Amino acid sequence: MTAASEFDRPDAVAAALERTGYLADPGLASAAFLAMRMGRPLFCEGEPGTGKTALAQALAQVLDAPLVRLQCHEGIDAAQALYDWDFPRQLLHLRTMEAAATASGDALDADAVEASLYDRRFLLARPVLEALQTTPSVLLIDEVDRADDEFEAFLLEVLAENSVTIPEIGVVRAETPPLVVLTSNRTREVHDALKRRCLYLWLEHPDLAREVAILKSRMPQLSDELAQQVAQAVHRLRGLDLLKPPGVAESLDWAAALELIGARHLDLESATTTLGAVLKYREDADRARDALDALLAS
């Protein structure tokens, strides 16, 4: 594993990210560098498809550390993030103890039985506990804007202490705090208290030159011309006020789809055939088809 302290400047982080296929601009590289060196969570906010989740994945590769992902959703609670007890195995264990006591004629010691039932072997670690126990690690708390206020309050405590308390076992504290990346698509505003715990990074869609570079980095076999055409068309699609503007992942999917059908250029026929790789709503596809001539103009 690579220690975060081995990176002595943002350029070194940018170079390491580039080796994973993630191209970071100076602002993003600086934010990642500071998060690693200051031990602060990195709060990434921006439109879907701007590379927030991919950044956490790339940082895990850079640090050669496991990525632990917590996908947030409406109604998520602390138990789903921390731990649960394996009740079926506990029940089986209890019945085995009872059968052994009946066979031997010995009485069960209630305290000993309870202690054995709440042993670590019956503990099911959920993502946050798993990240604290797996050190070092990268903890991705994805789409935190989908969780409710109570869950944000829970995260505040965990991020501040890098530990959790399990009543039956005690305090579990990370030997090395995980590098935490939180993402938000800004479907609602996340509380200031949580943001204050973090370094903040706003991610935009890459500019045309960077998107071409990303396509070439991830798909070296792609021709320069096709990479340029795909990136340019995607940039124009983002200006159409679509329900779901395409992200970088859709650019890559579109380029891959064009390659699979043997297209050497992005023209009207190949674009129409593969439009489903880049747009995911019928209304968006209809709007794009009406504008394809302009989208493909050089």
Is 80 exceeded by the pLDDT of residue 4? no
Under CATH, what is the fold of the domain 3-76+127-203? Rossmann fold (3.40.50)
Q: Using CA atoms, how far apart are residues 273 and 250, in angstroms rounded to an integer?
A: 15
Percent of the chain exceeding pLDDT 90 equals 68
Q: Using CA atoms, how far apart are residues 277 and 249, in angstroms rounded to an integer?
A: 10
Whole-Å CA distances, 1 to 54, 131, 137, 145, 156: 19, 15, 10, 31, 28
Q: pLDDT value at position 291?
A: 85
Helix (H, G, I), strand (E, B) or coil at 2: coil
Q: pLDDT value at position 135?
A: 81
Q: Using CA atoms, how far apart are residues 110 and 218, in angstroms rounded to an integer?
A: 60
- Please report the sign of the dihedral spanned by the C-alpha atoms of residue 122, residue 173, residue 200, residue 209: negative
Query: Where are the chain's structural domains?
Result: 3-76+127-203, 83-122, 208-296
Q: pLDDT value at position 270?
A: 94
> 197-231 pLDDT, tens per residue?
999 999 999 999 999 999 999 999 999 999 999 99
Q: pLDDT value at position 1?
A: 67
Is 90 exceeded by the pLDDT of residue 112? no
* Contact (Cβ atoms closer than 8 angstroms) between residue 291 and residue 250: no
Is 80 exceeded by the pLDDT of residue 254? yes
> 30-55 pLDDT, tens per residue?
999 999 999 999 999 998 889 999 99
* pLDDT band at 147; cut points 50, 70, 90: very high
Q: Which residue has the higher pLDDT, 213 or 1?
A: 213
Mean pLDDT, the chain, integer: 92
For 251-263, what is the mean pLDDT?
95
* pLDDT band at 298; cut points 50, 70, 90: low
Secondary structure, 3-state, 182-224 = EEECCCCCCCHHHHHCCEEEEECCCCHHHHHHHHHHHCCCCCH
- Complete edge-to-edge strand list for the sheet that includes strand 138-142: 67-71, 138-142, 179-184, 42-46, 199-203
The model's pTM: 0.86
Q: pLDDT value at position 223?
A: 94
Q: pLDDT value at position 144?
A: 95
For 71-75, what is the mean pLDDT?
94
Residues in the chain: 298
